[in-house]
Chain A
Amino acid sequence: GNSVTQMEGPVTLSEEAFLTINCTYTATGYPSLFWYVQYPGEGLQLLLKATKADDKGSNKGFEATYRKETTSFHLEKGSVQVSDSAVYFCALSEDNYGQNFVFGPGTRLSVLP
């Protein structure tokens, strides 16, 4: 079946540092890929998405590129802020239906001032 693997956390960075959170996937078809973010005490929110190979999703300074050859969708940000402290989830879906979403385990990011 489909699966998503993320780098182990927690990740602790100083403010303005460069962020990379690795995500790789296994899928039988051609999935869409997503990054969701969960701020403390809140539900998950869509951060960015990409629907086909070589697409780049971007939002709030975060970027991720759909790499079919390496089955990866790594999340990057050039300069993190304390307000970016959250849990980040990589996910995939092979169709438009939520029951077929597969989520990674999440990576907790802490940004120190």
Chain B
Amino acid sequence: NAGVTQTPKFRILKIGQSMTLQCTQDMNHNYMYWYRQDPGMGLKLIYYSVGAGITDKGEVPNGYNVSRSTTEDFPLRLELAAPSQTSVYFCASSYPKGGGPSPLHFGNGTRLTVT
């Protein structure tokens, strides 16, 4: 059972370049999320999706775009990379239901450096 899979694991970008971080999950979860993790900070939500075709901004969406064409995939696009986007990016998924909190399932992260 693969869970949440992210690619690539590492990437170095030059300022102004663009790239797409891939995320796929095989648990049939309807909710998916992108977080960034900066040193000494908690995770910050970039974008989330409640199902195919539906996305919404989180706390720090500027400089990023997402799409959700299928239940399984939730890619994150960086346009015009900036040094401030140097971070570790985590994709997560969940299946909210009644009766109690639904835990987040995380991928192993993508470490991005913009120079």
Write the residues of chain A forming the contact surface with B, with a CB cutoff of 8 angstroms. 4, 32, 34, 36, 41-46, 49, 51, 89, 91, 93, 95-99, 101-106
Known: A43-B92, A97-B94. 7 other contacts (CB 8 A): A32-B100, A34-B101, A42-B108, A43-B109, A95-B101, A98-B102, A99-B31
Interface centre among B40, B43, B58, B92 (most CB of A within 10 A): B43
Q: B42 contacts which of A49, A96, A104 (Cβ < 8 Å)?
A: A104
Q: Are B97 and A46 in contact (CB under 8 A)?
A: no
Interface string of B79-115 (1 = CB under 8 A from A): 0000000000010101011101111101111000000
Interface size grouping (class) on chain B? 20 to 34
Does A46 lie within 8 Å of B42, measured CB to CB?
Answer: no
CB distance from A94 to the nearest CB of B (A): 9
Contacts of A42 in B (CB 8 A): 108-109
Using known A-B contacts A43-B4, A43-B90, determine if residue A103 contacts B100 with beta carbons closer than 8 Å. no
Check B45 for interface membership: any CB of A closer than 8 A.
Answer: yes
Nearest A-chain residue to B42, judged by Cβ: A103
The distance from the CB of B29 to the nearest CB of chain A, in whole angstroms, is 10
Does B74 lie at the interface of the complex (its beta carbon under 8 Å from any beta carbon of A)? Answer: no
- B56 close to A (CB within 8 Å): yes
The distance in angstroms between the C-alpha atoms of A97 and B104, with both chains bound, is 9
